[in-house]
Amino acid sequence: MLPYFPFGQRFNEKMGTALLSESERLIEVDEHYRSEIALKRQLLAELPEYYYQDLPGYEIAQWDVVDSVLHNLALFAPDQFTLQQDGNRWYWRNHLLNETIAFTFGDVTTLPHAPLDWIGRQIQEDLLLLTGHDATLVAGQLCFANDWSLDEKIGLPFWQIHAPITPIVEPMMRAAQKLLERLPVGRSVWRANWSLKISNQLDMTARHTPMLKQLLTDRLPTLTSETIGDQLFVRVERQTLTRLPRSQAILFGIHTYQNRLANEAADPERAKLMAQTLSTTPRAMLEYKGMTGYLPALLTYLTRK
């Protein structure tokens, strides 16, 4: 079952953010850790400039991410990760991968990759760095994006990243922008986002969009209320937003979870919540999420469940 299930009694036009409490992790490690890290590293080896990008001048923010992520992992999962510090000399042990590294904090020459690129290879999350009043995307390691890529968004401010913004979500996006402007250090927030997909391939970066669209078109005639549960996947992103202490940049982390629709809908309460949310989701949003072609079959399926 998905650890997060952002469906409710009706479509929620609020941004759905909540404070991340001290007992909640910034970075999550689940049973797919090893396979997802292997996939990430493979993608980064094949197309490094597609999956990782940084604009010059934000090295301090990158080190901020290393600091926050390593401390969070070592604090919440001391059996899996250990961090020792001797002044600026840091010793990192990843017991899950059986890897050890010693580096000098602040000295890029002591890491095998740029700091953000290195730390991203230790965790399942995609990582994005945003800076300034308008929250401009200045760096990112993005392997498991849902329908977008760094090529399209690097250098753009928050508002333009989301353009064109449909009128129904405009108040939400204004609230989100205010939240980013005012987010204090030490008070991370999180939210969950949902979509339904024809595939459970984790890397849905924009280069795969034409293939995935074609796959949906080809399968559409076979998506009936009898078969749809086995053919679709629920994809949920746990998104966190953290103001970083040295640079004042914002770290946007995305952990993607997915499960076959039939597995989620086997729980009648979950089936009911999905039906309630989907039947009240505005048309423009359903179109944006590519769901209009199979919505009637999906609602019939969920209602039966």
Using the minimum distance from each CB to ligand HEM, give the nearer residue, 63 or 158.
Answer: 158
Question: Which residues between 10 and 69 bind ligand HEM (CB under 6 A)?
Answer: 15, 17
Q: Are 106 and 88 in contact (CB under 8 A)?
A: yes
- Residue 128 within binding range of ligand HEM, rule CB under 6 A: yes
Cα dist. 110→53, 96, 250 in Å? 19, 22, 24
- Residue 209 within binding range of ligand HEM, rule CB under 6 A: no
Using the minimum distance from each CB to ligand HEM, give the nearer residue, 13 or 59.
Answer: 13
- Residue 162 within binding range of ligand HEM, rule CB under 6 A: yes
Q: Are 50 and 149 in contact (CB under 8 A)?
A: yes
Q: How far is the CB of 271 from ligand HEM (least distance, A)?
A: 21
- Residue 137 within binding range of ligand HEM, rule CB under 6 A: yes
Determine which residue in the list 111, 176, 198, 223 makes contact with ligand HEM, applying CB under 6 A: 176
- Residue 212 within binding range of ligand HEM, rule CB under 6 A: no
Binding mask 225-254 for ligand HEM (x = CB under 6 A): ---------------------------x--
The one segment of 31-39, 50-58, 145-153, 215-223 that binds ligand HEM by CB under 6 A = 145-153
Q: Are 246 and 63 in contact (CB under 8 A)?
A: yes
- Give the number of residues in contact with ligand HEM, rule: CB under 6 A: 19
d(CA 238, CA 123): 14
Name the residue among 285, 300, 123 with its Cα closest to residue 196.
285
Q: How far is the CB of 71 from ligand HEM (least distance, A)?
A: 22
Cα torsion through 282, 285, 291, 294, rounded to 10? 10
Query: Which listed residue (191, 238, 243, 270) is catalytic?
Result: 191
Q: How far is the CB of 191 from ligand HEM (least distance, A)?
A: 6
- Residue 193 within binding range of ligand HEM, rule CB under 6 A: yes
182 catalytic, yes or no?
no
Name the residue among 41, 118, 110 with its Cα closest to residue 127.
118
d(CA 28, CA 36): 12
Interface with ligand HEM by CB under 6 A: which residues?
Answer: 15, 17, 128, 130, 137, 147-148, 153, 158, 161-162, 169, 172, 176, 179, 191, 193, 252, 288
List the catalytic residues: 191
